[in-house]
Amino acid sequence: MSKHTDAKQKRDFLSLDGWSKQELLGLLERARELKELRRLGERHQPLAGKSVGLVFEKASTRTRVSFSVGAFELGAQALDLPVAQTQLGRGEPIPDAARVLSRYVHGLVIRTFAHERLEEFARWSSVPVINGLTDLHHPCQILADVQTAMERLGAVEDLEVAWIGDGNNVAHSWIEAASILGFRLRLACPEGYGPDAAVLAAAQARAPGLVSCVGSPEEAARGANVLTTDVWASMGQEEEAKVRAAAFAGFKIDRQLLSLATSEAIVLHCLPAHRGEEIDEGVLEGPSSAVFDEAENRLHVQKALLELLVG
């Protein structure tokens, strides 16, 4: 039995793996152009008459709004499809849902827990599938992060990034980005909370010497020009919050840690932030913070993705 009958070629965006440096830099350049078009108020609607389905199993603000607005500005309609309000929430098999939705919409954004669910959607969908977040990867976030860092600091190869905190899905996409785009990344994670071993090994094999795990936040931050972090307990880990709070003591981006970075260093956070936990209020609201530019750039990089994959 074939997975679908549509022989049309399509490309998915499930992680950064499988995308070349040239392709990713091309997406970022297109995002820059689309950002400028928006600033000038110019209409650009290559997706007129098309629809994009947003199949969300996890709560979302930035991903939902940026994809919805992005699709609209490109001329498409975005269909908000919370899993709990569809038959998927009542146990409909993913192969069935993917094949049906593929006959209605021109692209799918999936935000779910297990990365395998996203991969199954992609296998059975005949339209492009974009990762809006899984427990393993958050590639759209990192495109926006890299765009923000390049806007502030210049060429991607000049970036020296310190990740402070949990070796989670955002960290995994940073690891892939560093190994593909050619910048240095140091991760400082509490013992037992490091990144996925396979993700790390693949990146280190792809680009030896660029990605490393270090023993302390101070070692990671020293000489970096980007400091970035995420909450200590992500969605689905709420019951671990107290245990994690103890394990992550000392893994906070504060003024003292920031002082070890370069003078032009910026601070990123994918938001929402737990102020006073993984990042100090004064740093988040301070002159080194680029978190709200970072949040805005989700819109522009995702428009570039939609234009390329759905258009």
Choosing from 145, 166, 230, 280, which is the catalytic residue?
230
Confidence band (pLDDT; 50, 70, 90) for 1?
Answer: very low
Confidence band (pLDDT; 50, 70, 90) for 4?
Answer: very low
Considering the domain architecture, whether residues 229 and 156 belong to the same structural domain is answered as yes
Residue 270 known to be catalytic: yes
What does the buried/exposed string (b/e) look like for 27-41 if buried means 16 or more CB atoms within 10 Å of the residue's CB?
bbebbbebbeebeee
85 is in an annotated binding site: no
Amino acid at 221: A
Residue 244 known to be catalytic: no
62 is in an annotated binding site: yes
Q: What is the pLDDT of residue 241?
A: 80
Confidence band (pLDDT; 50, 70, 90) for 236?
Answer: low
CATH number at residue 169: 3.40.50.1370
Return mean pLDDT, the chain.
95
139 is in an annotated binding site: yes
Is residue 90 assigned to a domain? yes
Residue 310 has φ and ψ, to the nearest 5°, of: -90, -35
Q: What is the pLDDT of residue 2?
A: 41
Is residue 220 assigned to a domain? yes
Considering the domain architecture, whether residues 154 and 273 belong to the same structural domain is answered as yes
Is residue 113 assigned to a domain? yes
Choosing from 152, 184, 244, 298, which is the catalytic residue?
298
Is residue 151 assigned to a domain? yes
Whether 97 contacts 88, CB under 8 Å: yes
Residue 138 known to be catalytic: yes
Q: Which of 172-176, 197-201, 234-238, 251-255 has the lowest mean pLDDT?
A: 234-238
234 is in an annotated binding site: yes
184 is in an annotated binding site: no
Give CA separation, 194 vs 63, 187, 242, in Å: 25, 8, 18
Considering the domain architecture, whether residues 145 and 216 belong to the same structural domain is answered as yes
Is residue 216 assigned to a domain? yes
Considering the domain architecture, whether residues 198 and 283 belong to the same structural domain is answered as yes
Considering the domain architecture, whether residues 133 and 148 belong to the same structural domain is answered as no
Choosing from 115, 244, 270, 300, which is the catalytic residue?
270
Considering the domain architecture, whether residues 237 and 276 belong to the same structural domain is answered as yes
For the entire predicted model, the pTM comes to 0.95
Q: What is the pLDDT of residue 107?
A: 98
d(CA 143, CA 151): 12
Mean pLDDT for 291-302 is: 98
1 is in an annotated binding site: no
Choosing from 64, 117, 141, 166, which is the catalytic residue?
141
Q: What is the pLDDT of residue 260?
A: 98
Whether 255 contacts 282, CB under 8 Å: yes
Is residue 185 assigned to a domain? yes
Residue 189 known to be catalytic: no
Considering the domain architecture, whether residues 88 and 213 belong to the same structural domain is answered as no
Residue 274 known to be catalytic: no
189 is in an annotated binding site: no
Considering the domain architecture, whether residues 235 and 96 belong to the same structural domain is answered as no
Choosing from 106, 117, 137, 138, which is the catalytic residue?
138
Considering the domain architecture, whether residues 167 and 125 belong to the same structural domain is answered as no
> How many structural domains comprise the chain?
2
- Tens digit of each residue's pLDDT (9 = 90 or more) over 112-158: 999 999 999 999 999 999 999 999 999 999 999 999 999 999 999 99
Considering the domain architecture, whether residues 200 and 177 belong to the same structural domain is answered as yes
Considering the domain architecture, whether residues 153 and 132 belong to the same structural domain is answered as no
Considering the domain architecture, whether residues 59 and 167 belong to the same structural domain is answered as no
Is residue 80 assigned to a domain? yes
Residue 111 known to be catalytic: yes
Structural domain span for residue 68: 21-137+296-310
Q: What is the pLDDT of residue 237?
A: 65
Q: Which residue has the higher pLDDT, 4 or 214?
A: 214
Whether 88 has a pLDDT exceeding 60, the answer reads yes
Choosing from 64, 106, 111, 244, which is the catalytic residue?
111
